[in-house]
């Protein structure tokens, strides 16, 4: 136990920010930046993918469906390797591991998140779409003004849990030398050589603490969203005998 404390004392800065400023930014800060950027960029992509998958136009629906199925049917590591080898060829110059990993996460999370968005849209009562169309809104206008604001709010907990998955997925950046938390821990392990259990215990605990706190936040959010929705449904049930089935929310870190 003492050596865990010693390792932390000697290497906390490396675990926190990697070799920055003398080297690239790393450690848990890089992990978090990568995750946040990944999910933030994946989000608009996922909304577009979901809209394309629910679109009445086949020309949009089919490519989006193929992309989502392919990405979801392939391990993340495969996507990393594909991006790693393909992107430099496509753009004609080398890209950093960080950029490679970011591209990968955007594609991968975009595909997963698009299924969350699609479920969120489809879970809304059909009457919402009908009412909007009856008032003369176009398909896209209905989505933008009526469906998405409701669906995205209901999806907040699921999106947060997707963010938690993303944090854990950044560890795979290790295989292409992305300087994130796992990379930093491995550097320490290589220096010390004799203390792998302690080093990787620290690594595991760090991930656990971050992800556990976020899971708690997701649960709290889920209760809040459900409460707000139930509040609405309860009024409806008690006063008019109409109850809306609550859309499913999956928290699945």
Partner 1 sequence: MNPVPHPPGDDTMILFSNINKWYGDYQALADVNAEVKKGEVVVVCGPSGSGKSTLIRTVNRLEEVKSGQLLFDGHDIHAPMSSAALNKLRSRIGFVFQSFNLFPHLSVLENIMLSPMRVLGVKRSEAKARAAQLLERVGLSNKAGAYPAQLSGGQQQRVAIARALAMEPPAMLFDEPTSALDPEMVGEVLSVMRSLANDGMTMMCVTHEMNFAREVADRVWFMDAGRILEKADPATFFRSPQHPRAQRFLSDLRAH
Task: Identify which of residues 129 and 171 has a Cβ nearer to partner 1 in the complex.
Answer: 129
Q: Are 24 and 14 in contact (CB under 8 A)?
A: no
> The tokens of 29 are what?
């800060």
Taking CA atoms, 49 is separated from 116, 175, 220, 249, in Å, by 11, 28, 28, 20
Out of 44, 149, 205, 212, the only residue in the binding site for partner 1 (CB under 8 A) is 149
Among residue numbers 128 through 147, which ones bind partner 1 (CB under 8 A)? Answer: 128, 130-139, 141, 145-146
10 touches partner 1 by CB under 8 A: no
24-32, 166-174, 180-188, 238-246 -> range binding partner 1 (CB under 8 A): 238-246
- Interface with partner 1 (CB under 8 A), residue total 27
Contacts of 128 (CB under 8 A, 6+ apart): 146, 147, 150
Q: Which of 99, 225, 213 is nearest to 158 (CA)?
A: 225
Task: Identify which of residues 142 and 166 has a Cβ nearer to partner 1 in the complex.
Answer: 142
Task: Identify which of residues 10 and 130 has a Cβ nearer to partner 1 in the complex.
Answer: 130
Q: Give the C-alpha separation, 99 to 126, whole Å.
A: 41
Q: Which of 217, 207, 164 is nearest to 185 (CA)?
A: 207
Q: How far is the CB of 207 from partner 1 (least distance, A)?
A: 36
224 touches partner 1 by CB under 8 A: no
Binding region for partner 1 (CB under 8 A):
125, 127-128, 130-139, 141, 145-146, 149-150, 153, 231-232, 235-236, 239-242
């Amino acid at each position: 136990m003492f050596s865990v404390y010693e390792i932390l004392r000697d290497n906390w800065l490396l675990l926190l920010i990697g070799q920055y400023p003398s080297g690239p930014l790393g450690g848990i800060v890089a992990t978090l930046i990568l995750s946040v950027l990944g999910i933030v960029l994946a989000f608009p992509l996922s909304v577009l993918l979901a809209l394309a998958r629910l679109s009445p136009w086949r020309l949009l629906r089919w490519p989006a469906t193929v992309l989502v199925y392919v990405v979801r049917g392939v391990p993340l590591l495969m996507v990393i390797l594909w991006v790693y080898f393909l992107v430099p060829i496509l753009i004609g110059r080398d890209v950093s591991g960080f950029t490679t990993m970011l591209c990968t996460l955007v594609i991968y999370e975009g595909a997963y998140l698009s299924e969350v968005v699609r479920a969120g849209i489809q879970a809304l009562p059909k009457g919402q779409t009908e009412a909007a169309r009856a008032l003369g809104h176009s398909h896209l206008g209905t989505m933008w003004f009526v469906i998405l604001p409701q669906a995205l709010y209901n999806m907040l907990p699921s999106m947060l849990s997707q963010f938690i998955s993303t944090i854990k997925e950044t560890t795979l950046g290790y295989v292409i030398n992305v300087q994130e938390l796992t990379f930093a821990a491995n550097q320490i392990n290589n220096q010390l050589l004799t203390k792998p259990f302690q080093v990787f215990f620290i690594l595991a605990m760090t991930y656990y603490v971050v992800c556990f706190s976020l899971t708690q936040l997701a649960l709290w959010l889920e209760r809040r969203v459900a409460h707000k929705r139930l509040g609405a449904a309860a009024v409806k049930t008690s006063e008019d005998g109409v109850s809306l089935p609550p859309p499913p929310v999956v928290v699945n870190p």
